[in-house]
Amino acid sequence: MISAGDFKKGITFEMDGQVYQVLDFQHVKPGKGAAFVRTKYKNIVTGAIQERAFNPSDKFPRAHIDTKEMQYLYDDGDLYYFMDSETYEQVPLGKDMVEDAILYLRPNDMATIKFFKGNAFSVDPPNFVELEVVDTEPGFKGDTAQNTTKPATVETGAVVHVPLFVEVGDIVRIDTRTGEYMSRV
């Protein structure tokens, strides 16, 4: 059990049958009345963010989240298959769960999958990936305005804004947390 007075960023807890992660908290002790903990928390399954004030003595069961590095194998339309490299167990996940991460994953790439009570709820690609540009417009000579970008499609289908000098066939480094171009490899 964890009390609201012990909340810190990143702590996971169960409340009303749901699992939440503390995003931000503030211990408030007003001049009049009892102290409270103002908390901003996220439902880790749905992604909904809420704010609420808790009594510091409120107690909640701590939620144990398992994370595994798993290899992306293939998709067969609506399901995406990931394999645990230690046990070789394959886990099929629905498109709604992987739609953001799959933009940066090629077959055989590793991904971090989070589980709560044996059920997967989140798929995260590596923070940085290197992918080949398969489609982009050519840059024009003399087009040297600062910070000018153009859209480029990479081999996984993601569209990234890249500088004008990037061409088809170039390998680019992408930050998957923001979807931004980092550099040419």
In angstroms, the CA 165 to CA 158 distance is 19
- 19 and 56 part of one domain: yes
- 51 and 93 part of one domain: no
From 104, 124, 144, the end of a domain falls on 124
Domain that holds residue 147: 128-184
* Residue range 60-72: mean pLDDT, rounded: 92
Number of domains making up the chain: 3
What six digits make up the tokens of 27?
A: 């211990």
In angstroms, the CA 128 to CA 180 distance is 10
Least confident among 72-81, 93-102, 134-143: 134-143
- 36 and 77 part of one domain: no
CATH number where 39 lies: 2.30.30.30
Tell me: the pLDDT tens digits for 160-185? 999 988 999 999 999 998 999 999 98
**φ, ψ for residue 104, nearest 5 deg:** -120, 10
- 167 and 150 part of one domain: yes
Write down the pLDDT at residue 118. Answer: 85
Write down the pLDDT at residue 138. Answer: 85
Taking only Cα atoms into account, the Rg of the chain, rounded to an integer number of angstroms, comes to 22
CATH number where 117 lies: 2.40.50.140
